[in-house]
A = this chain, B = another copy of it.
């Protein structure tokens, strides 16, 4: 046996003054073994009431805070989930975050947010960040393909759940929205309101999402014997809606406009107002996403509402399923139906 003099931890003496007390300091202070402290932390039930209290006292006295890095390393797992949002400025994604946070909290999981800001490099950076952090899983509102980095994460055995994916991914679970139905609902609504000459403002017409919505509009129009025009817009923002709307309203006869975003709808309403066209009397307008401001505009905007909160909850539920089922898990896709919220912009 070596000399007991050999100090395991030379600076033990002033350990009370360390900025980050360790479990060992707590054990020493409480007069128990290190494993016991770990137990009161992770298995409070199997420890004596008496020791537990003693240890807890030491913990608060020392201001002990677990080191999650060490914890994750030793336990080989994490109780953190990452959520990557396309746009935290869009209230739909905020709703998703809220739902996910609520469900995660109930499952004792921590939720970390990241904003990809519609930028692939950011999305990929955060995917890698979460991968490095060995999170229990990641929720991703994905940009369009390629999803190679996400697949790399999957390859490391880390579950990924896609939220608002535009198509089911065979390698993941997904929470989808029936976008075609959304378009159909919007178009049907204005058709029932008496519209005959519809226009769909295709912002970002290359997005599969937008094309699905257009498909639904087309289906509704086809069944009603009305006409449908499609005008393209560079993006989904207000400015685009206003510009495209202005041109469109000047050049063609139209009595209803269906937009794949609320911002676009607001822009079109502005254009109409500028031209002295009354909404909804002369022109009905419907948006999409049910953003919070849609109901707050002076002409509240009718919209196709997506259940963002529920989608967030569902995403966590799917993730938990996958985590618990392990290799026996079979990916599945849950598709939610949107619903129309009629507001003044389309009510005659």
> Which A residues are closer than 8 A to B by beta carbons?
19-20, 63, 65-73, 78, 88-89, 91, 94, 97-98, 101, 110-115, 117, 128-129, 131-134, 152, 155-158, 238, 263, 266, 269-270, 273, 292-293, 296-299
CB closest chain-B residue, reference A111: B114
Q: Among the listed B66, B133, B296, which residue makes an inter-chain contact with A293, where contact means beta carbons less than 8 Å apart?
A: B296
Q: Which residues on the B side are within 8 Å of A98 (C-beta)?
A: 115, 117
Q: How far is the CA of A251 from the CA of B216 in the complex (A)?
A: 50
A170 to chain B, nearest CB (A): 19
Q: Which residues on the B side are within 8 Å of A293 (C-beta)?
A: 292-293, 296-297
Q: How far is the CA of A309 from the CA of B219 in the complex (A)?
A: 44
Q: How far is the CA of A68 from the CA of B128 in the complex (A)?
A: 11
From known contacts A94-B89, A110-B129, infer whether A155 and B63 are also in contact, taking CB-CB under 8 Å: yes
A14 to chain B, nearest CB (A): 14
A114 to chain B, nearest CB (A): 6
Q: Which residues on the B side are within 8 Å of A128 (C-beta)?
A: 65
A23 to chain B, nearest CB (A): 13
The CB with the most chain B CB atoms within 10 A, among A98, A114, A133, A266, is that of A133
From known contacts A69-B69, A69-B134, infer whether A115 and B115 are also in contact, taking CB-CB under 8 Å: no
Contact A299 B296 (CB under 8 A): no
Q: Which residues on the B side are within 8 Å of A65 (C-beta)?
A: 128, 131-132, 152, 156
Contact A156 B19 (CB under 8 A): yes
A145 to chain B, nearest CB (A): 20
Q: How far is the CA of A245 from the CA of B133 in the complex (A)?
A: 50
Contact A115 B132 (CB under 8 A): no
From known contacts A157-B19, A297-B296, A298-B297, infer whether A133 and B89 are also in contact, taking CB-CB under 8 Å: no
Q: How far is the CA of A254 from the CA of B112 in the complex (A)?
A: 47
CB closest chain-B residue, reference A158: B19
Contact B298 A273 (CB under 8 A): yes
